[in-house]
Structure 1
């Protein structure tokens, strides 16, 4: 017999039982509740910090002239062997790039300039995805691509050390 004071849950019909709660597994911690979605400011923190560090480094190279001796260490490979590595001239390239002199930057180290543009493209993609709440871009290349990048760097290093490639030397 039901009384008038009995409450009836309208959201559940009497024929539908409540969902079962999983029984705790001995030795295993219960699952934590789902974390709330990060805010836009939190999503933008990592790419903004990365961009700030890169801009600070470029700003430092822009103000401290690499053409003046004593400010930066000499390339150890160049010092020991006289051979230019793929990175030789990178600081001079960054200095010229920071001052907007793209031709001088390309003359100091063309491969570094290509790297600046790849980095800029990656940062733009990362910032857009972070702003929109999309996945973080990953730099997951197949081994064949890494070998290709290494081969390009090796050819660049060899050619810039040969007489006909002296235009690539810093």
Structure 2
């Protein structure tokens, strides 16, 4: 019960971030939280909105650790690309995503490091002018082979985006 209550507290905070950044929560599986940007409608700043949410997810965890005297950390993985999205079947409706982009995002999380935001080369290319990154050594990613990936640390001092555009729910 304690674990479920803790996850509820964390995921409720993440839900508020999802709403604030105009993103779409897809599902939770155990302690995993899946969110997407740019769906169900295209959006110019989807990658930035996801990056901002990831940074703020880390802040949520830091605050929780501080107020509850815990040492919890999360791995966050981000990848950018096309997906197939929709609802299949007639019962137990769930909006879901399929495709290589989803698999690669999952690999970014699973090959990540606790407390860091791990991103693919594709996401790095979209965000490199607005955020600070550290390039990782080449890693062998299950099902993908060797990949160059990065850790995202935060926005540059003078990001070239307007935060009100990122946090607006206008698609």
TM-score (norm 1): 0.23
Bigger share in strand:
2
Pair member with larger Rg: 1
TM-score (norm 2): 0.23
